[in-house]
Amino acid sequence: MSLQNFIESLDGLLDEAKSSLDTVASNEQLEALRVKFVGAKNGAIKAVQKLMGAIESEHRPAAGKKFNEVRDAIQSLLDTATDRLGGGTKTSNEPSVDPTLPGVRPVLGQLHPITQTIEHLKEIMGRLGFNVTEGPEIEDTWHNFVALNIPEDHPARDPLDNFYLATAKKQAQNPSDRDAMLLRSQTSTVQIRVMETQPLPLRIISLGRVYRPDAPDATHFPMFHQMEGLWVDKNVTMAQLKSVLRLFATSYLGSDVRVRFRPSFFPFTEPSVEVDYWWNGNWIEFGGAGMVDPNVFQALGIDSEKWSGFAFGLGVERLCMRRFGIVDIRDLYRSDVRFLRQFAS
């Protein structure tokens, strides 16, 4: 190797070091450059130094002088860059973590009060022999209305009282349309689905969301939950219905709860009652119930002479609110963890 070439490669190295070290912006990059130029194993300086052996002996002193100059220049570029970046972590003896600072406590999640309530209700009803089933939240009019004996002109089917879906087939849905789909307005849909598919006798509950276009206030929300119950067997009676709802209420709300059944009307039960529980000095309606209407059995091809049943539907939010002392349903759905954390399971 000629002296000329040797000097040229040293100058090239110095230029490269200059341009990269003048602009280096982080200690990590600086460390990488330090390794690249002066690293003891594979640094560029080391590599050039090895070439020195190939230079004629007469030129070696000049080569050595040049080599030392460039090596020192690169070292001082490194020092300048180190100062500019406030000193590398390498040179600092201070620990980068202060072990005397208090730790950060991990935040534990917890179940939403409605989820807790649902689990609790399943457990109570499970002890009374009810199996848990589920149904879809998007329903057709057969399951939400027709099979439940809710005729076409019934006000419950009004588009203003339901969330009909704009399907691919049609933009605006007509409630009398057999293909219309909607967000289910009640979990009674699951009664139909279960009787369509499961052999009798059966005893089920189904807990899930229902949707109604109500303006939110302290007691209304456009999405809420219901617990539906259905017991079909031979000789099921209204007395059993009352016993089950009373047993359920004392299990969930306490043995001192007062229960009242008021005669009412639902298209899918006959006779029908509304179920009230005493709450803060008032009778509050928690849901409806009754004996399965023979028309419902008939729509499903079940012999109503042979089979009888009762059904009920209770509002889950109301049960949860009464148990936890929550006064505004909207608080459950604001996703404010300061509120929700009060109901640790």
Contact positions toward ligand DAH, by CB under 6 A? 186, 188, 228, 266, 269, 287-290, 311-313
113 close to 121: Cβ distance less than 8 angstroms: no
Length of the chain in terms of residues written: 345
Query: Which one, 75 or 295, has the nearer CB to ligand DAH?
Result: 295
200 close to 193: Cβ distance less than 8 angstroms: no
Q: How far is the CB of 343 from ligand DAH (least distance, A)?
A: 25
Query: Which one, 13 or 205, has the nearer CB to ligand DAH?
Result: 205
213 close to 161: Cβ distance less than 8 angstroms: yes
Query: Residue 159 in 3-state DSSP?
Result: helix
Beta bridge partners of 289: 273, 312
Q: How far is the CB of 137 from ligand DAH (least distance, A)?
A: 14
Q: How far is the CB of 316 from ligand DAH (least distance, A)?
A: 12
Q: How far is the CB of 107 from ligand DAH (least distance, A)?
A: 37
Beta bridge partners of 139: 182
Q: Output the six-digit token pair for 36.
A: 């690249």
Q: How far is the CB of 293 from ligand DAH (least distance, A)?
A: 9
71 close to 40: Cβ distance less than 8 angstroms: no
Pairs from 31-38 (Cβ < 8 Å, separation ≥ 24): 31/88, 31/90, 33/78, 33/81, 34/78, 37/13, 37/74, 37/78, 38/71, 38/74, 38/75, 38/78
Query: Which one, 68 or 298, has the nearer CB to ligand DAH?
Result: 298
Query: Which one, 173 or 188, has the nearer CB to ligand DAH?
Result: 188
Q: How far is the CB of 266 from ligand DAH (least distance, A)?
A: 4
Q: How far is the CB of 338 from ligand DAH (least distance, A)?
A: 32
CA separation for the pair 245, 255 (Å, rounded):
13
Query: Which one, 139 or 228, has the nearer CB to ligand DAH?
Result: 228
Query: Which one, 130 or 266, has the nearer CB to ligand DAH?
Result: 266
218 close to 329: Cβ distance less than 8 angstroms: yes
Q: Output the six-digit token pair for 108.
A: 């534990």
Query: Which one, 252 or 266, has the nearer CB to ligand DAH?
Result: 266
